[in-house]
Amino acid sequence: MAAPRENVSLLFKLYCLTVMTLVAAAYTIALRYTRTSDKELYFSTTAVCITEVIKLLLSVGILAKETGSLGRFKTSLRENVLGSPRELMKLSVPSLVYAVQNNMAFLALSNLDAAVYQVTYQLKIPCTALCTVLMLNRTLSKLQWISVFMLCGGVTLVQWKPAQATKVMVEQNPLLGFGAIAIAVLCSGFAGVYFEKVLKSSDTSLWVRNIQMYLSGIVVTLVGVYLSDGAEIKEKGFFYGYTYYVWFVIFLASVGGLYTSVVVKYTDNIMKGFSAAAAIVLSTIASVMLFGLQINSNTEEATTDLERETLLQKSGEGYCT
């Protein structure tokens, strides 16, 4: 049963989209600084996990304020979280799908030229539009479809990397790479629209839904921490390499994640895609100005871009920009 449509002003929607765009751009710039400085490099998997924890705590705080009293707050948690394993399982789907997406994206990057990867990965934009049509029973006008593919082309041009700079010394399997990128694209479109469908199909509070998803997100990211960096973390410590700048990056990712869920709730994944594209353009311009970034790259830089997306995911589309 569909939830009653909430009346939200256009000004509020524009505010959320603007903040999400600016936070995403600032996040990318800050993350680039922390991943390219000469200090000890922190484990990105632990940063992802801590981001999930902070988003959970923020959502709990906002829900407490929304309910207005300690009694109603406890009742809401008991009924919607502790006493609703089915709803928890429902919201674990995006976290699990994003985990598959992240692994497929890294597998694709290991088997495709970085330039080819950047271009094909942008197919997630029209894939999201297609999932919106199929899963939410919406229709898009010809102008909207043209806008979607123009957005896909524009993001591709901004992120284009010259092929001559992407030579690698390891054997690659293009067929495996294209298969992995296809799965990653489908996961991206499905997970984002699935979360939107869950948010808009009932009158359950957005912050309850966030709590449900972040609980499963913490479990998934902890597994990722153990599988990816478990041995090194045991040797060096969970917070190895953390500085004030790293905590600032985590803060931006957390705030951006919450705003992303608000954008998905009150607009849709397509608008979120346009916001993400604007953030890419802004962060690229700022990187040129602040870091002297040149629009060429190698596989290592492409991997850094992917780390950015890994941190931003998990909040709706995740902060999956």
Predicted pLDDT of residue 312: 43
Predicted pLDDT of residue 293: 54
Q: 308 lies in a domain?
A: no
Predicted pLDDT of residue 6: 60
Q: 8 lies in a domain?
A: no
Q: 235 lies in a domain?
A: yes
pTM to 2 decimal places: 0.80
Residue that wins the pLDDT comparison between 314 and 142: 142
- Report whether pLDDT(321) > 50: no
Q: 312 lies in a domain?
A: no
Predicted pLDDT of residue 86: 87
Nearest to 181 by CA among 173, 193, 170, 192: 173
Angle at 271 between CA 55 and CA 180, to 5 degrees: 75
Q: Please tell me the distance from the alpha carbon of residue 10 to that of residue 108, in angstroms, as a whole number.
A: 39
Predicted pLDDT of residue 310: 44
pLDDT digits (tens, 9 = 90+) for 87-115: 888 889 988 898 888 778 778 877 877 66
How many domains does one find in the chain? 1
- Report whether pLDDT(316) > 50: no
Maximum separation of any 2 CA atoms in the chain, in Å? 63
pLDDT digits (tens, 9 = 90+) for 19-55: 999 998 898 888 878 877 767 889 988 998 999 999 9
Q: Which domain holds residue 207?
A: 23-35+43-161+171-290
Q: 296 lies in a domain?
A: no
Q: 295 lies in a domain?
A: no
Taking a C-beta distance cutoff of 8 angstroms, is the pair 163, 84 a contact? no
Q: 15 lies in a domain?
A: no
Predicted pLDDT of residue 274: 80
Q: Please tell me the distance from the alpha carbon of residue 201 to that of residue 143, in angstroms, as a whole number.
A: 27
Q: Please tell me the distance from the alpha carbon of residue 129 to that of residue 114, in angstroms, as a whole number.
A: 25
Q: 316 lies in a domain?
A: no
pLDDT digits (tens, 9 = 90+) for 267-315: 888 888 888 778 877 877 777 777 665 544 444 444 444 444 444 443 3
